[in-house]
Amino acid sequence: MSGLGRFITLEGGEGVGKSTLARALKEALEARGLKIVLTREPGGTPGAEELRRLILTPPESVGQWPPLAEALMFYAARRDHLEKLITPSVRSGAWVICDRFSDSTRAYQMAAGGVGRDSIEALERICVGDAGPELTLVLDLPLAASRQRMKARSTKDDAIESRGADYHERVRQGFLDIAKANPHRCVVLDASLAPDVLAKAALSAIDTRLGVAR
Ligand SMILES: Nc1ncnc2c1ncn2[C@@H]1O[C@H](COP(=O)(O)OP(=O)(O)OP(=O)(O)O)[C@@H](O)[C@H]1O
Ligand SMILES: [Mg+2]
């Protein structure tokens, strides 16, 4: 993406520590004098947050969204988020750190949910084009460990979190496959590391891939 800022995404399954790492990175990068915009998907703008509610906590009358309908809503939300927040922020020189982005749709709706690669690639081309992230940090953690963390957090599971272990195993493998297929953009981090150690590893990946920003 052109512009002075940077666009970094954090990816991985449920409860692997994405949001915790996002907050640590914001603090560390702000300490270097950078302007950081911390945001998340689905969501990040009022319209995308409305779609988030429909996707993650659908009214009972909706039942389950078919995987393709779910993917379409994610991309509608993503387009709003890109146009109204991510792209303008990067153009203004900010570093955008986004908690989940397109790789989550690939891992969940495609790898785990069975939506065809062609459909996802078409949506990606239409809705994101070349405005995607330059760097993606993929947090990898065995399912048992992330389940443990989720339990400790004790909020009610949403429509996606409550899907079975098979689904979430496919999500995990989906992220690893994406990282393998996109080595120039993706760095896999061991999410079992303690939060401060993980944050150091993430900062070091940022410095190596994007050039040290101080
Ligand atoms: N590196 C870590 N080591 C141990 N526990 C962690 C680590 N990072 C986060 N946690 C804890 O694990 C739980 C999940 O963390 P967090 O909410 O950051 O994960 P997440 O990937 O954002 O989850 P979700 O996908 O549900 O948004 C929290 O209770 C958090 O305090
Ligand atoms: Mg989170």
Q: What amino acid occupies position 69? A: A
The residue segments making up the domain with residue 155 are: 6-207
Confirm whether 34 is domain-assigned.
yes
Contact 86, 96 (CB under 8 A): yes
Give, using CA atoms, the residue closest to atom 1 of ligand 1: 195
Residue 14 CA, closest ligand 1 atom number:
25
Confirm whether 15 is domain-assigned.
yes
Confirm whether 212 is domain-assigned.
no
Residues of the chain with pLDDT under 50: 1-3
pLDDT tens-digit readout, 167-195: 999 999 999 999 999 999 999 999 999 99
SS3 track for the chain: CCCCCEEEEEECCCCCCHHHHHHHHHHHHHCCCCCEEEEECCCCCHHHHHHHHHHHCCCHHHCCCCHHHHHHHHHHHHHHHHHHHHHHHHHCCCEEEEECCHHHHHHHHHHHCCCCHHHHHHHHHHHCCCCCCCEEEEEECCHHHHHHHHHHHCCCCCCCCCCCHHHHHHHHHHHHHHHHHCCCCEEEEECCCCHHHHHHHHHHHHHHHHCCCC
The CB of 100 under 6 Å from ligand 1? The reply is no
Confirm whether 43 is domain-assigned.
yes
Confirm whether 77 is domain-assigned.
yes
pLDDT tens-digit readout, 6-36: 999 999 999 999 999 999 999 999 999 999 9
The CB of 198 under 6 Å from ligand 1? The reply is yes
Q: What is the pLDDT of residue 123?
A: 98
Confirm whether 213 is domain-assigned.
no
Cα distance between residue 3 and residue 185, in whole Å: 18
Pocket test for ligand 1, best of 149, 155, 163, 172 (most atoms within 8 A of CB): 149
Q: What is the pLDDT of residue 153?
A: 77
Q: What is the pLDDT of residue 7?
A: 98
Q: How far is the CA of 2 from the centre of ligand 1 (A)?
A: 32
Confirm whether 214 is domain-assigned.
no
Q: How far is the CA of 101 from the centre of ligand 2 (A)?
A: 12
Q: How far is the CA of 4 from the centre of ligand 2 (A)?
A: 27
Orientation of helix 67-81 relative to helix 46-56, angle to 10°? 160
CATH number at residue 17: 3.40.50.300
Q: How far is the CA of 16 from the centre of ligand 2 (A)?
A: 8
The CB of 18 under 6 Å from ligand 1? The reply is yes
Q: What is the pLDDT of residue 1?
A: 44
User: pTM (2 decimals)?
Assistant: 0.95
In total, how many domains does the chain have?
A: 1
